[in-house]
Amino acid sequence: MNSTPLIDRAQLSPQEQANLAASVDYECIQTIPEIWAIASQRFGNTLATHDPHGSPALKFTYQELCAHIQLFAAGLQALGLVAEEHVALISDNSPRWLIADQGIMTAGGIDVVRGSQSDRDELLYILEHSDSVALVVQDNATLARLLPDLEGLNPRFVVLLSDETPAGSSTLQLLNFSQLLELGKSRELKFVQRQRNDVATLMYTSGTSGQPKGVMLSHGNLLSQVMGAAAVVRLQPGERVMSILPIWHCYERTFEYFIFSQGCSQIYTNIRQVKKDLKQFSPQYMVGVPRLWESIYDGIQKQFRDQPEGKQKLVNFFLTNSDRYIRAQRILAGLDLENLHPSGGQKLKAAAVLPVLWVIHQLGDRLVYRKIRDGLGGGIHFVVSGGGSIADHLEDFFEIVGINILGGYGLTETAPITNVRRPWRNLRGADGQPLGQTEVAIVDPETRQPLPVGAQGLVLIRGAQVMQGYYKNPIATQKAIDPVGWFDTGDLGQITGHQDLIITGRAKDTIVLTNGENIEPQPIEDACLRSPYVDQIMLVGQDQKAIGALVVPNLEALKNWAAKEKLPLSFADPADLTQKDVQNLFRQELNREVKNRPGFRPDDRIASFRLLDEPFSIENGLLTQTLKVKRPLVSERYRAIIDEMFI
């Protein structure tokens, strides 16, 4: 048995060592399920998880959660599940998902997770490829989608996470949630010895292209996330965390393992209820993706635009001067990404303007920013952003209004977090310093030779969180992980002298123009999203003379603009988007935002664009479950428009 601590304290800063001291009980455990007995003993009747929108609404204390996990595991063993067998878990956010996930692991099994809304063919592929011997599904509706092809896969049993009467098959052994727990009560749970290097779960990549690959994550991979996060932030028992991301996604999943190890209370919400739930439950913490913060920002900006002109001018006055205030603060703290080593003169200049700007900022906080925080519950200590880069204007805005965003970086293959910004070194625009026992290297994409500090290259990761490999795919595994353990992320980035990682683009997303210039689309797209009229955007232009853009307009902002300009446009007809005034507006907006971007080059200019009347969404297959644009699919769907753009 490996009793080595999960994290090397010698590599940690004094602040990180102090944070980690609160999690000492977990340092030498071997598997994720061991968390629950410790948490049950430490936190007892503290509320662990609450789903106010479920049918039924569900609440569990830590003692209740641990007991249900054990009953679920015993029920699976009674059905014949043995160590290392695979069980597919197809369900969305619910406390019962967590019970099933940890019940499968406690029984010694390896779960294969996916959301119930995923494409049916994709689910069937995962079921077959993963060699799952059994299936746990959200409800009868989920089961019905799979049933026509399920009997051919011949699972030994199927469990519903609902209390519905299982229906639809006379040949499959079907049980609902309550029936499985009753079965568990009749059998004593058998302890299964597992080690850190043993596979805990298969997580199929939900990337923007290609057939999903089964990422094998071990208990040690997942535990490295729990202890790595414990060193970065110290949470208190009973503090509230709001969950909106898919629970089966690696980012949300491992963050939940961490917050449960700290005794927090998890509250599930969804995109329809999140604004109401933020006010009602007043969470201290939340994790999300850039699209979520963008949606919140857009909602706040709409409220500003709905104010009388005088109030709009006052708000803009405060925002403008508060922006100057936070930038002066960053310079003094050495946290200005564009100027990490300010001169003495620059610091003196920042210090000189700070007192006056502080007064204006405090007045803005009293009159404007406090109301924004109250609208988000009033209790947020910080939010964590991952799953893609967050635009600079969003970082600036939330810092101004007093909501700290801790950005991070990682992939499913790294369980997922490799880097995260610390509360005491929150370098906006960067992706943070490495977690403990994590190495980051920047190498030349062609030669794989190390590059100096500040140079852009391919990002490689080595550490306790790197996956065991891709299931039944040794060739892909060998391609991703070299013989000495370095994982090829496929991302481009650079590292500062303080080990802050800055992701600059995705190697395969790079647009190469005919003049040989490489264009990284993400920073330019983020700049364009500053415009209130741009809801979504994707750059195109591979092998062209200049870049173009597919733009999804913000119709509400566009309608307000048309009304102010007294234009007879309702935008109910897509043809309205082709009107000259509309085209001129977007040309001006895109040109301005791109030119105002730090580091602007002439090749960054968007030479042509087309406005789309349908947004990129999960429903139309153009967004992943974590709201990333599926660039190859968008290019394929709009191929004719793109081709016409460059004639």
What is the pLDDT at residue 44?
96
Pairing type for strands 86-90 and 110-114 reads parallel
Please compute, for residue 283, the number of CA atoms within 13 A of its CA located in the half-sphere on the CB side.
27
What is the pLDDT at residue 3?
66
At 451-468, the pLDDT tens digits run 999 999 999 999 999 999
Whole-Å CA distances, 124 to 114, 116, 143, 510: 11, 12, 12, 33
Residue whose C-alpha is closest to residue 177's, from 151, 143, 128, 219: 143
Give the CATH number of the domain where residue 119 resides.
3.40.50.12780
Q: Rounded to an integer, what distance in angstroms lies between the CA atom of residue 637 and that of residue 442? A: 35
Please compute, for residue 525, the number of CA atoms within 13 A of its CA located in the half-sphere on the CB side.
29
What is the pLDDT at residue 208?
47
276 located within any domain:
yes
pTM for the structure as a whole: 0.86
551 located within any domain:
yes
Whole-Å CA distances, 25 to 22, 66, 262: 8, 17, 11
Torsion sign over Cα 581, 584, 588, 590: positive
What is the pLDDT at residue 181?
98
Q: Considering 228, 260, 281, which residue would you say is the last residue of a domain?
A: 281
Burial letters 207-232, b for 16+ CB under 10 A, else e: bbeeebbbbbbbbbbbbbbbbbbbbb
Q: Considering 248, 281, 314, which residue would you say is the last residue of a domain?
A: 281
355 located within any domain:
no
List CB contacts of 436: < 8 A, sequence separation 6 or more: 7, 8, 11, 12, 16, 227, 228, 231
Torsion sign over Cα 355, 356, 358, 362: positive
**Burial tier of 266 (Cβ tally within 10 Å: 0-12, 13-18, 19+):** buried
User: Where is 495: in which H helix or E strand?
Assistant: strand 487-495
Domain holding 543, by residue range, is 510-645
Pairing type for strands 417-420 and 405-410 reads antiparallel
What is the pLDDT at residue 1?
59
358 located within any domain:
no
Strand partners, 60: 49
274 located within any domain:
yes
Q: State the total domains in the chain.
A: 2
What is the pLDDT at residue 494?
95
Q: Considering 224, 254, 281, which residue would you say is the last residue of a domain?
A: 281
428 located within any domain:
no
List CB contacts of 93: < 8 A, sequence separation 6 or more: 51, 243, 246, 247, 268, 270
| Side chain identity, residue 578 | T
Mean pLDDT of the chain: 92
397 located within any domain:
no
In the block, tokens 């369900």 appear at 91
483 located within any domain:
no
Pairing type for strands 132-137 and 110-114 reads unpaired
At 66-104, the pLDDT tens digits run 999 999 999 999 999 999 999 999 999 999 999 999 999
Low-confidence ranges of the chain (pLDDT < 50): 208
